[in-house]
Amino acid sequence: MAALHSLAANPKLAQLEQNFQRLSRQRALYTFILIAVVLLSISGGLVVAADANSGSFFSGLSRFFDYPVELVRGAYDAGLWRLFSLCWHYLPYLIETINIALLATLIAFFLGGALSFLASRNLVSQRILVFCMRRVMDVTRAFPEMVIALLLVLIIGPSPVAAVMAVCFHSIGALAKQFSETNENADMRAVEGIASVGGNWLQQMRYGILPQVLPNFFSYCLLRLEVNVRASAILGFVGAGGLGAELKMVVDWNYGADILVIIFMLVTAISLIDYISAAVRRTFIGDAATL
């Protein structure tokens, strides 16, 4: 009752309440429309898929879990000792995949870091230079690793080098984008202090900006490493080496136990890298790294 009296006594508060209710109704309407559009799109996609598969799409849904069950059955029939021997057999390929991701991430860390300083609006006064560097970042991020790797495999042949170059090319733009945003949030007072005593631009970046942003640089780099391990595994499907190439081969030949072992090794490796990188990020930037 007191709330109603306060609303009546304060026209501005009443108007604010009306605006809030109107916005709430609009948001509910937009949400309903969005859900309807998504459901309509999914339904249309299912119909198109059924037509493309001559009506076998919906009938195949009832057998959706047949293939995973077949993989598990094949692994069970192989026995525990056979599974351990398969893990040992595919371990070098897993190491190769991780090495591809590590090398590509390391190169991208240094090149993307250097590019980010030239693409930060608060660090470079020449706007045309910032514009050009940002367009370079856009180009490197625009091409998926799979497309780049496929082109490189056609040019230099099937090789892990193609995977390194493809992952590195994409990662440079991704890391440079994140690094430049970190640079633009840095405290400029240290840069102004170094400039006031005659420090040049490189000295301002080295002693004024880099100590502030380096922990976040390492955090983004570790996050990118997780993404690159997955990307390196996928690139094996186009002949770029690593565990992905072995996975493609065993899928083609339908080796159930081998498929399950490779998937298990990939998931385990990525989970372990995620755990290690989270621990390292906590060391650099504290508990906020776990969020």
Asked if residue 218 and residue 192 are part of one domain, the reply reads: yes
User: pTM higher than 0.85, yes or no?
Assistant: no
Which CATH number belongs to the domain containing residue 285 in this structure?
Answer: 1.10.3720.10
Give pLDDT tens digits for 83-114: 888 889 888 888 988 999 999 999 999 999 99
CB 225 within 8 A of CB 274: no
Number of domains in the chain: 2
Q: What percentage of the chain reaches a pLDDT higher than 70?
A: 90
Range of the domain at 35: 2-61
pLDDT of residue 110: 93
Residue 18 tokens, joined: 């009306």
Asked if residue 93 and residue 35 are part of one domain, the reply reads: no
Asked if residue 254 and residue 218 are part of one domain, the reply reads: yes
Asked if residue 51 and residue 109 are part of one domain, the reply reads: no
| DSSP for 176-192, written as a single string | HHHHHHHHHTS-THHHH
Asked if residue 147 and residue 53 are part of one domain, the reply reads: no
Question: Taking all residues of the chain, what is their mean pLDDT, rounded to a whole number?
Answer: 82
Whether residue 4 is predicted with pLDDT greater than 70 in this model: the reply is no
Q: In 3D, which of 194, 283, 193, 267 has the Cα closest to residue 229?
A: 267
Give pLDDT tens digits for 20-65: 888 888 888 888 999 999 888 888 877 777 777 655 666 766 777 7
Asked if residue 223 and residue 238 are part of one domain, the reply reads: yes
| DSSP for 204-237, written as a single string | HIIIIIHHHHHHHHHHHHHHHHHHHHHHHHHHGG
pLDDT of residue 291: 40
Helix axes 210-235, 145-156, angle to 10 degrees: 60
Asked if residue 202 and residue 89 are part of one domain, the reply reads: yes
pLDDT of residue 289: 45
Give pLDDT tens digits for 189-198: 888 898 888 8
Asked if residue 202 and residue 104 are part of one domain, the reply reads: yes
Asked if residue 159 and residue 92 are part of one domain, the reply reads: yes
Residue type, 199: G
